[in-house]
Amino acid sequence: MPLWCKLKLMSKTVAILGATSHIAKSIIFESKCYSKIYLFARAPQRVTQFLINHSIDNCEYEVRDISEFDKKDLCVDAIINCVGFGKPEKIRNGGFEIFRTIEEYDNRIIDMMLSGKTGAKYISCSSGAVYGTDHIVPCNEQSTTSLTVNSLSSKDAYMLSKIYSEVKHRSLADLNIIDIRLFSFFSQFIDLDSHYLITELITAVKNQSVFYTEPTDIIRDYVAPSDLAKFIELCIVKESYNGALDLYSSEPIKKSEIVSYFCDEYKMQMRYESENNKISPTGIKSIYYSINSSAKTIIGYKPSCSSLEVIKKYTKLFLSGSKALC
């Protein structure tokens, strides 16, 4: 990041909602340039313990209960909304609660902006799920999303909630709101019980058990926490913008390449299974990454890590329990 950008950030204050989430923890751990960070969570004691456990003292922190978020004026330069449903089973079973939770905090932030309680830029964690399912090519600027409107089900809830939020944000064109579309993300703070591909691989290594998977290949794009933090910092210093930006690594990766790495590096055993009983809560996504690089032009984003580099570094960190940076 350019020196001018770092210097500009040193005077910035930010608020993070949903501070106990995997994404929020990674942002907190990687952020070094802000003057103060307000951390809001339903369980503030867990946030405080996280800061202590990982010796995080990059700047001044203030931890608050999320219920206090909009009780008074909030004098910050940016609000980062990480509230959501992290685990696949929560997304799968969330249904109505997905809409209610995501909309509640989104509306509370927007109401503060509209009422003048804050002049902050709003950075919302969206998802690549807005592009829909089962792509035969990577997501791009011309991608469309289709729905069979007479056959909607609970698996559509997460995607529709994110699309709804983005449309709402675009209708508020005079407000500085940026939606960051995340596809795949991995750090040493991931919940091993989240049942993502990467956590199931790590579990197989830890338990010295066989990893079972379908022979069909898929493609994923794992973004480094340092790249996410850099992306957010570039969004904050962007003077004025209302739009959605896709987040991407320097290179995506095939499942077969990931499995080969785990087999070679950790001597993991792998077996193919003909049927997969694990149904994605947001639908089948064989190719799940974006080549929409508008973030490069709009905010000057350039990723520093490839998906394979992220997997190598953060698997080692997770297995060693190390607190080292990427």
Residue 95 burial (CB count, 10 A): 14
Weakest-pLDDT range from 10-19, 59-68, 87-96, 299-308:
87-96
Ordered domains of the chain (ranges, CATH): 3-186+221-250+280-307 (3.40.50.720)
Q: Confidence class of residue 244 from pLDDT cuts 50, 70 and 90?
A: very high
Helical ranges in 65-196 per DSSP H: 88-94, 96-115, 157-171
Which tens digits make up the pLDDT trace of 160-175? 999 999 999 999 999 9
Q: Indicate whether 325 pLDDT > 50.
A: no
* pLDDT for the residue 324: 44
**Model confidence over 202-218: pLDDT tens digits?**
999 999 999 999 999 99
Provide the mean pLDDT of the chain.
Answer: 90
- The closest of 192, 177, 62 to 121, measured between CA atoms, is 177
The predicted-structure confidence for 217-228, as pLDDT tens digits, reads as follows 999 999 999 999
281 has a pLDDT exceeding 80: no
CA 153, 98, 176, 231: dihedral to nearest 10 degrees?
-90
User: Residue 135's pLDDT band (boundaries 50, 70, 90)?
Assistant: confident
What pLDDT score does 87 carry? 60
Structural contact between residues 32 and 9, judged by C-beta atoms closer than 8 angstroms:
no
What's the rounded Cα separation, in Å, for the pair 95 and 102?
A: 12
Instruction: With a cut of 90, say whether residue 8 has pLDDT above it.
Output: no
Cα Rg for the chain, rounded, in angstroms?
19
Residue 41 phi/psi, 5-degree rounding, is -155, 160
pLDDT in tens, 11-53: 899 999 999 999 999 999 999 889 999 999 999 999 999 999 9
Report pLDDT for 58: 81
Nearest alpha carbon to residue 30 among 275, 262, 229:
229
Q: Which residue has the tokens 């830029």?
A: 121
Exposed/middle/buried for residue 93 (C-beta within 10 Å: 0-12, 13-18, 19+): middle
Write out the H or E segment, with its range, that includes residue 309. helix 307-320
Given the DSSP bridges, would you call strands 177-182 and 121-127 parallel, antiparallel or unpaired? parallel
For residues 304 and 250, is the Cβ–Cβ distance under 8 A? yes
Pairing relationship of beta strands 219-220 and 253-254 according to DSSP bridges: antiparallel
Give the percent of the chain with pLDDT over 70: 91
Output the pLDDT for position 24.
97
The two tokens of residue 68 are 């206090």
Q: 289 or 11: which carries more pLDDT confidence?
A: 289
